[in-house]
Structure 1
């Protein structure tokens, strides 16, 4: 499977050309370089080694994205809890908020990633029932929920997977419901993710 990092790298090269640069100081960076996320906005940035260290050490709200793709064996979110999120499609990412910030759910679609603001009360209720939500690195990790095609699969993934899946859906989505090609590509994405993930063995309370 193409990792989230690789997918984002290919996308950025397509847009910006073959030379990638640090988004902070504009120095050229190698293919394997740090990615940072601004926890409050979920914007992702390429960073050279120096800027990665500086931006994550100064309390500026940036977090380094550490590659993660972990299947949560034994984890099941109840249908009633999923309904509380009011997500209009069967795929979503849940992000733990920074202190004092609003929790965020994101779902991919034809226009890219759409944010669904959650109330603090809903988040607290879910986090109490599903402790893994409280273990996520704010902005840098998400709980990925896949309920498409009758599945009930859950993963703890780094934020680059959000960008990779969102890019896939944006490229393939047709009409109001996405179309067969889009959902076939999504099914393939999750099949490959299953093969690449490590079992987390995390069960809900």
Structure 2
């Protein structure tokens, strides 16, 4: 009859066990289990994002629902090929890298500029005159829904791309670039991820209709 396994043997066997499956993501409001990609809410008081199930996302699409603390991030992508965001306008933003997103933050009562960095999303002071220059240069600025959408700008050589996107994707971009960032300029992997991101946005974006307004 063989001897029972020792404590050391048990510890050795544990190395070969399959890892426990990760806990499923859940709606941060009602606790419902989420599957795959899902919607997000902006917590306007705490300046954060919350995962949401379809029911909660639909609920907070109504203006003022729940006291106005949470707002559902919309799923629209707009582009303005006729914009006039030239080098002069870009320089007024004082962004040290070639990517920035502008967000109308109601908690702060002003538009803020953020850009990716090795530390994640970094906020930069945006002079009111600089924001006005952006508004004069692209019609997308006045379509920007406060808190839940971002005006995404990409400066590459002598060209600036301009899109309006859901704000959760802007934060997703900065988070991904933070993980990939290498060296002073981000490195090859970060640049490839940025190129893929803009290729996807370009495919999904459409020109705004005349009746398009802030949700």
Matched, 1:97 2:97: no
Q: More relative contact order in 1 or in 2 (CA 8 Å, sep 6+)?
A: 1
Matched, 1:148 2:156: yes
Consecutive unaligned residues in structure 2, runs of 5 or more: 1-20, 211-215
Consecutive unaligned residues in structure 1, runs of 5 or more: 1-15
Distance across 2 between alignment mates of 1:54 and 1:143: 22
2:165 aligned to which of 146, 157, 164? 157
Matched pairs, number: 187
Distance across 2 between alignment mates of 1:112 and 1:76: 29
Q: Which residue of 2 aligns with 1:22?
A: 27
Q: Deviations over 1:55-93 (max 9, x none)?
A: 950333322111122222211312222111111100010
Within 5 Å, which residues of 2 pair with 1:36-185?
A: 36-39=41-44, 42-49=47-54, 51-52=56-57, 53=59, 57-98=65-106, 101-185=109-193
Larger radius of gyration: 2
Q: What's the offset of the Cα at 1:125? A: 4.7
The structure 1 segments of at least 4 consecutive aligned residues displaced by more than 6 Å after TM superposition are: none
Q: Which residue of 1 aligns with 2:204?
A: 196
Q: Deviations over 1:30-61 (max 9, x none)?
A: 44543111346542111235544269503333
Contact 1:39/1:138, CA 8 A, preserved across alignment = no
SS in 2 for 1:127: helix
Contact 1:66/1:140, CA 8 A, preserved across alignment = yes
Distance across 2 between alignment mates of 1:74 and 1:128: 12
RMSD between aligned residues: 2.9
1:150/1:40 CA distance change after superposition, 3 Å: farther
- TM-score (structure 2 length as normaliser): 0.73
1:196/1:100 CA distance change after superposition, 3 Å: closer
SS in 1 for 2:83: coil
- TM-score (structure 1 length as normaliser): 0.76
Question: More helix per residue: 1 or 2?
Answer: 1
1:187/1:177 CA distance change after superposition, 3 Å: same
Distance across 2 between alignment mates of 1:40 and 1:148: 35
Range 178-187 or range 46-55, more displaced: 46-55
SS in 2 for 1:58: helix
Distance across 2 between alignment mates of 1:187 and 1:32: 22
